[in-house]
Amino acid sequence: MRLSLIAALAWQDWRDEWRLSLCAVLALVAVVTPLLLLFGLKFGLIGELTERLQQDPGVREIIPLAGGRFSAADIEAFATRPDVAFALPRTRQIAATADLLDPEGKTLAVEMIPTAAGDPLLGHLTAPTGIQDVLLSQTTAQKLHAQAGQALVALITRQDAGQVQVHRVTLRVTAILPIAAFQRDAVFAPLALLEAAEDYRDGRAVPALGWAGSAPGGERIYPAFRLYARDLAAVEPLRQYFAGLGVTVATQAGAIEQVQALSRRLSTVFWLIAGLACGGAFAATAAGTLAAVERKRRALSVLRLLGLRTTALLAFVLLQALYSALLAALLASLLYAAGAAILNAFFDQLASRLLPVHLVIALLAILVVSLVAATAGGWRVTRLQAAQGIRDV
């Protein structure tokens, strides 16, 4: 007999017993909806925390704590590692400072931070290329009333034989960093400008800016670097890598581990609850199917008498379970959407979130559990004999 006929018979019988069918649907909805909300909270909250950490470059920064000795080749080797997103040398901290003149002639002491293309702090801003091109932090721009495209005068000072010497260099502001990127007074400049300031303070000549001095000698050695991991997962391996090199670094590995540990704990809780709930849904569906087979034993025996095979009778039972599962999945999805909207409004953020693939997996899980449970509970239908339909046993 064709499957379409079995499906039509099963649907008609499912509709005729709509009260019992509705009970089966609501039983599944009562199990599935809380699980969807729980998983949505886990995925939404952890995803939001992880995304915030990922978007904050400071979380991925690797900061050397003690003065080291790194050549340009050393730092270039760091930059070429697959787990490193950005690496650049840093000059001595005491030499990486400058005084900027405001329109009233007052000076503002700022730190000079080397930057280049790919700097995570710059975001979508273009890195300066010329030696006199710089970006300003938001606080610096506000104190100097500076704007992009404006020229600023920087004073580079040094002491020579007990006398203070000052060189002026005109800088061109190419952009202003948002306050979220950097909260201190700073100038982001090409490494060449920081090297020029360091050379000047060490008494060496800076031909690019026309500053006289002794000829530079030997390979330049840097005491530190700016380095950012490619992603959160790379922070701890990089810490271990530098520890192996004897370089002590500071990282945000603790904060990252807290989020990851929270994700693992929530996963354990979710799967524990999901396992218990699915077990209960399985038992309820199997018991309901077994009761339905007992209740409809005479009708099913008559169908056997009319020529339906064992597989057709089993399909009859399974299709009814399938109808209940599909309707339950639809209702659970609608209730989840309403519940998620309430939770998101309550937390004032995307606290509960599911991707389409999650809903598809949930649908498949409902169907599989329902069909397996219906098979377990409806297996008795295979033992029905056609004679029972005549004897009305």
* Residue extents of the structural domains in the chain: 3-53+258-391, 67-85+227-247, 92-221
Average pLDDT, integer, range 20-36: 89
* Portion of the chain with pLDDT greater than 70, in percent: 92
Residue 83 φ then ψ, to 5°: -95, 10
Task: State the chain's mean pLDDT as an integer.
Answer: 86
Cα separation of 150 and 4, whole Å? 77
* Whole-number pLDDT of residue 302: 67
Helices (H), the chain: 3-16, 18-55, 72-79, 138-144, 191-201, 235-244, 253-295, 297-305, 310-347, 356-378, 387-391
* Whole-number pLDDT of residue 173: 94
The answer to whether 304 and 385 are in contact (CB under 8 A) is yes
Q: What is the pTM of this model?
A: 0.72
Average pLDDT, integer, range 339-349: 86
Which has the closest alpha carbon to 318: 373, 392, 271, 265?
Answer: 373
Average pLDDT, integer, range 303-316: 72
* Whole-number pLDDT of residue 306: 65
Distance of CA 286 to the CA centre of its chain: 40
Residue 62 φ then ψ, to 5°: -110, 115
* Whole-number pLDDT of residue 179: 92
Region of poorest pLDDT, from 39-48, 173-182, 375-384: 375-384
**Unique residue bearing structure tokens 């077994």:** 290
HEC-encoded secondary structure of 71-132: CHHHHHHHHCCCCEEEEEEECCCCCCEEEEECCCCCEEEEEEEEECCCCHHHCCCCCCCCCC
For the chain, give the number of residues.
393
- Indicate the SS3 state at residue 382: helix
* Whole-number pLDDT of residue 393: 47
Per residue in 37-64, pLDDT tens? 988 888 888 888 888 887 888 899 999 9
Q: How confident is the model at residue 388 (pLDDT cuts 50, 70, 90)?
A: low
